[in-house]
Amino acid sequence: MYFLTMAAQEELFQMKIITELSNQAVHEYEGLQREHERATMECQRMEAERDEAIKRLEEFQKVSHMVIEEVNSIQDNLDIERTCRQSVEALASKLNRQNCSLKRKSMLYLAHLGPETIAEIGLEDEEEEEESVDTQVEKECFSAHCRSTITELKKKLELTLEEKKQATIDHEATREELSDIREEMLVEQKKLNRQSQILLKSSSPSEALQAALTDVTRLTQALESQRLVHQQQMKGIEEQLRGSELHKEVLALQRKLELLAEEKREHEERCSTAKVEAKDLKFTEMDIRQQAVDEMMQRIKRGVHLRPVGQAPNKTKLVQRERVPSNSAIQELKGILDTFKRPSPHLKVGSPSTNTESELERVLQRRRGAFKTSQESCSPSSSRPFPSSVLDVTRVRGDQPQTKQTSQDSVPL
């Protein structure tokens, strides 16, 4: 029993430890869930920013495509106008040539005409020339307006293209500057390290050396600060360009959550096994007690066979034992029950032989007293055999209640 109680205490202690571990696992799981939610929020925010940047780029591309289409349409119109103007100029040159030929022919015919007709022809020619000059001026004005609009659009398109090129050039320039600054910083650090080593090697340090050392430390600190700033800038740019790192962190957190869930399942299985073992121990204890009681009842039903003390039994003694009345059997049963109620002799430290001898003497004395009372009474019940079981005892009790009372009064318990 003591070992069972100790085992139960150990199991309870283990159960407490398991519950504490499970609570810790639950707290860690909740903390990881919170971190996972924060990471998801940051991922969503970064995705929203990325989507906005992509939308802006798409809008800029759409605007640039629209401008390019407008410029192409304007160039097409300009080409059409050029072809028209060239054709008009060719026709005008042809007309001028024809006019010149006609004037020459008219001059030949004017010699045959009168002075009045010559004056009328000169006025009509001047009016026609004025009208042709006005139409040419209008055409030139219209072409100049178109040229101005075309030049403005070309300038806008060139500006947009230049801005785009400038942005790409600036980005590449910043990268090159950062790489150059890193190289310069490394070179300066090497120089400063060499100078500091030279100054430290010199055996006679002076104020100038100390000032130089302070300058070196100050410069190193400034360089380190600049380096850190540049590193932070580069990290920010890389994080903006690479948004997959947050996804990796989320995957790592999910793996940790799965591991914690598996540990929790293992702890629960251990708890269930410990509970089952505790129940089995309780049932085994009850089974041992029930088995002991059953063994006692079986021994009572079968009876206790006494061994002879010292010498072998004679036939007369066997006949006398067979002729012992039922009251002596009842007394013997009571004695046996008293012996069972007493503690077992295995637990005692003393000699077991003395206890068994005293018990046998008591039983023999009771049997002798019962035999004497039966001889004095000479009842017909003396011829009956010795009861072999508890059922025979109950039958004898029902058959002879009077002899039972007399024997109980005569025999001391």
Residue among 166, 172, 171, 219 at smallest CA distance from 191: 219
Q: Which residue has the tokens 């309870």?
A: 12
Model confidence at 291, in pLDDT bands (50, 70, 90)?
confident
**232 part of a folded domain:** no
pLDDT at position 9, please? 76
Compute the distance between CA of residue 261 and CA of residue 266 in angstroms, rounded to an integer. 9
Both tokens of 113, joined, read 């005409």
Angle at 277 between CA 271 and CA 283, to 5 degrees: 140
Q: Is the pLDDT of residue 259 over 80?
A: yes
Q: Is the pLDDT of residue 179 over 70?
A: yes
Compute the distance between CA of residue 264 and CA of residue 19 in angstroms, rounded to an integer. 10
Burial bucket for residue 360 (CB in 10 Å: 0-12, 13-18, 19+): middle
Q: Is the pLDDT of residue 394 over 50?
A: no
Q: Could you tell me which residue, 35 or 206, shows the higher pLDDT?
A: 35
| Range with the poorest average pLDDT among 201-210, 321-330, 400-409 | 400-409
**322 part of a folded domain:** yes
**374 part of a folded domain:** yes
Q: What is the mean pLDDT of residues 95-101?
A: 84
Model confidence at 411, in pLDDT bands (50, 70, 90)?
very low
CA-based radius of gyration for the chain: 64
Q: What is the mean pLDDT of residues 231-248?
A: 70
Model confidence at 396, in pLDDT bands (50, 70, 90)?
very low
Show the DSSP H helices in 303-350 as ranges. 315-322, 326-341
Both tokens of 328, joined, read 């002596």
| Per-residue pLDDT tens digits for 32-70 | 888 888 887 887 888 888 888 888 888 878 887 888 888
Model confidence at 241, in pLDDT bands (50, 70, 90)?
low
**294 part of a folded domain:** no
**263 part of a folded domain:** no
| Range with the poorest average pLDDT among 15-29, 116-130, 180-194, 255-269 | 116-130
Alpha-carbon dihedral sign for residues 337, 342, 347, 353: negative
Q: Is the pLDDT of residue 27 over 70?
A: yes
Q: Is the pLDDT of residue 351 over 60?
A: no
pLDDT at position 319, please? 42
Q: What is the mean pLDDT of residues 144-161?
A: 74
Model confidence at 286, in pLDDT bands (50, 70, 90)?
low
**Do the Cβ atoms of 91 and 136 come closer than 8 Å?**
no
Domain count within the chain: 1
Mean pLDDT comparison of 152-161, 257-266, 277-286, highest-scoring range: 257-266
Model confidence at 316, in pLDDT bands (50, 70, 90)?
very low
Q: Residue 241: what residue type? A: L
**279 part of a folded domain:** no
Compute the distance between CA of residue 326 and CA of residue 151 in angstroms, rounded to an integer. 144
Average model confidence (pLDDT) for the chain? 69
pLDDT at position 131, please? 56
Q: Is the pLDDT of residue 407 over 80?
A: no
pLDDT at position 307, please? 52
Residue among 326, 324, 333 at smallest CA distance from 304: 333
Domain that holds residue 335: 303-344+352-410
**98 part of a folded domain:** no
**Total residues found in the chain within this entry:** 413
Q: Is the pLDDT of residue 296 over 60?
A: yes
Q: What are phi and psi of 126, to 5 degrees?
A: -65, -40
pLDDT at position 345, please? 45
Model confidence at 308, in pLDDT bands (50, 70, 90)?
low
Q: Is the pLDDT of residue 75 over 60?
A: yes
Model confidence at 189, in pLDDT bands (50, 70, 90)?
confident
Both tokens of 302, joined, read 């079968």
Model confidence at 144, in pLDDT bands (50, 70, 90)?
low
Q: Is the pLDDT of residue 124 over 60?
A: no
**63 part of a folded domain:** no
| Range with the poorest average pLDDT among 175-189, 198-212, 326-340, 344-358 | 344-358
Show the DSSP H helices in 202-243 as ranges. 207-241
Model confidence at 244, in pLDDT bands (50, 70, 90)?
low
Half-sphere exposure of residue 323, counting CA atoms within 13 Å on the CB side?
16
pLDDT at position 66, please? 84
Q: What is the mean pLDDT of residues 262-273?
A: 87
- Report residue 259 CA to chain centroid gap: 7
